[in-house]
Chains A and B, each alone.
Chain A
Amino acid sequence: MPKAHNVEVQASVFKRITAFLIDMLILQFIVLGPMDSLYASVLPSGAGFSEMIANLQADNEKIAMVSFLSAVSGIFAMLYFAMLESKLGQSIGKMAMKIYVKSDENNLSFWKCLLRSFFLMPVMPFSILMLIDPISAFFTKGNRRLLEMLTKTRTVESLPYQQGF
C-alpha cells in the first residue's frame, strides 16, 4: 500500500502575505489599541493626507513624537512575532494559514525570531528593510527574505506526499 506522509516545502507567497495581513490586523486592534489615543493626540482629525503632512512639518515636536510612537509600535510588532514564533513556531496569522517558521539549525531562538522581524522597525536606517526585505523574497532561491537568510530560518508549510508506484 502506498505510504502517505507530509513533506515540508517553502510556504507559498500567497499564504505568507495573507498570514502577515492577519497578523497586522491583530496587532492594530489588540496589541497597539492602547496607543490609538496617543496617535490621535498628535495627528489632526478631519485632515486630508496633505493637510496632515503640512501640519506635522510645521511642528518639529510633532514629527519627533510621531517618529517615537512609530518606533515603539515597531518594537511591539517585533515582540509579537518573536514571542509567538519562538514558542510555537507560528504567529496567529501563520496558524490560520497553516504555515510555520523553522530554523535550519533546529534552534529557533527568541533572538532569531526578533531579528527576522526587524523589517517592522520604521526607524531610519532600518526602515529601508520594510521595502527590501519582503521584495527580496521574489528574487531569492526558495523565496526566502533577506532576514530569513541572515537568521537561517524559513517559512514552510506541510503538504501531503504520497509515495507509491
Chain B
Amino acid sequence: MEKEKTDNAQMSKVKTVIKTLAILFLLSWIVSSVISAFYGEDAATIDFDANVAVIPIKGVILTGEADFLAETEIAVSDDIIEFIEDADEQDNIKAIIFEIDSPGGSPVASEEIANAIKKTNKTTVAWIREAGASGAYWAASATDHIVASRMSITGSIGVIASYLEYTGLLEEFNLTYQRFVSGPYKDLGDPFKELSKEERGLYQAKLDKLHDYFVEAVADNRGIPKKDVQLMATGMFYLGSEAKELGLVDEMGSKDEAIEYIERKLGIEAELTEYEKELTLADIFRKFSNQNSFYVGKGIGSSLKDTKPAVLSLWT
C-alpha cells in the first residue's frame, strides 16, 4: 500500500516535470517564431571565416520594392548597395563577386549600383549567368573583372521607353479626353492623347541623353574609347563569346573562373559567404496591407486584373 502510494507520487512527479518542460518548450518555440518573423536580417551576418562576399543581382533592377503579388523577381538597388557597404566595412572580406542574372531595369537604380561598386575598395568581379544585359551590364561594367558564359546574354547598351496609347479606343467608344494643363508639355506621354511630332522629338531627345550617359559610363568603366562603345550601343544584345571579342567582358567562364581570378590577383584561398535579403513576415504583411488598402478603395473585383494605366517607363 505504502509502495503503491510512493509509486503514484513518483509517477505524478514525472508527469509534472514532462508537462512543464513541454509547456516551456512550446512557448519558447512560439516566441522565437514570432520574433524571427518580425526580425529579419537586412544583410547577411558575416561569416568571419569568409574572405569573399557573393552579392546577388537577380531580377529586374529597381529602386523600390515590387508589389507583393508581382511575379517578376526584383533586385532592389537599396538592398544591393547596403550589402556592398556592409562587405566594404568587413576587414576579413577582400573581394566581392556579383552574381548577375538580370535583364536590366531602371537607369537610376542601375547607376546607383554601379557607383556603389566603384566606391568600394575591395576587388570586384561580375559573374554573369543567364543574363547581364542593359542596366545589369551597366552595373557589371563597374567591376574590376567580368566573367560570363559564352551563352550569356549581355550588352544591350541602350534605353527603351514605351506606353499604350488609348486615343483610338476612346474614339471608338465616343469618349472625349478633357485636357487641362499649366504648361504645354505637362502631360507629355499621357496615354489618353495622341503624341505629337514635336512631343515625340522631345521624348526621343531625353532617351538619347540617357543613352549617352549609359555609353559614357561603359566607356569609362571598361576603358574603351567612347566612339567604339557608341558603335556597339545599338541596343543589340551580345552572347558572352561575342561580348568578349568586343571587350565588353574579360573572360569566359563561371563561378570557378571568378574565384580563380580573385585567388590569383590577391594570393588568397577564397572562402565564400553569400548575402541575401530575408523577407520577414512583417515585410509580407506590410506589402499585403498596402496592396489591400489600395484595392479596398478601387474595389476588390478590379484587383483581380491589372487595371493600372500603362505609364511611360524607361528601361536600360
What residues make up the interface of A, taking CB atoms closer than 8 Å to B?
Answer: 26, 30-35, 37-38, 40-48, 51, 55, 58, 65, 68-69, 72, 76, 79-80, 83-84, 87-88, 92, 95
Contacts and interface: CB of A to CB of B under 8 A. Distances in A.
B46 interface: yes
22 contacts: A30-B21, A31-B24, A32-B28, A33-B25, A34-B31, A37-B32, A38-B32, A38-B36, A40-B45, A41-B36, A43-B45, A55-B46, A65-B39, A68-B35, A79-B24, A83-B23, A84-B16, A84-B20, A88-B16, A92-B17, A95-B13, A95-B17
A60 B256 CA distance: 37
Contacts of B21: 26, 30-31
A46 B45 contact: no
B47 A41 contact: no
B27 interface: yes
B228 interface: no
A41 B27 contact: no
Contacts of B47: 44-46
Interface string B1-35: 00000000000010011001101110111011101
Nearest to B33: A34
Nearest to A55: B46
B31 A72 contact: yes
Q: Chain B's interface: helix, strand, loop or mixed, by majority? A: helix
B20 A87 contact: yes
A41 B24 contact: no
A46 B49 contact: yes
A33 B48 contact: no
A43 B17 CA distance: 32
Contact of B48 (A34, A51, A69, A80): A51
Contacts of A48: 48
B67 interface: no
Contacts of B25: 30-31, 33-34
A47 B48 contact: yes
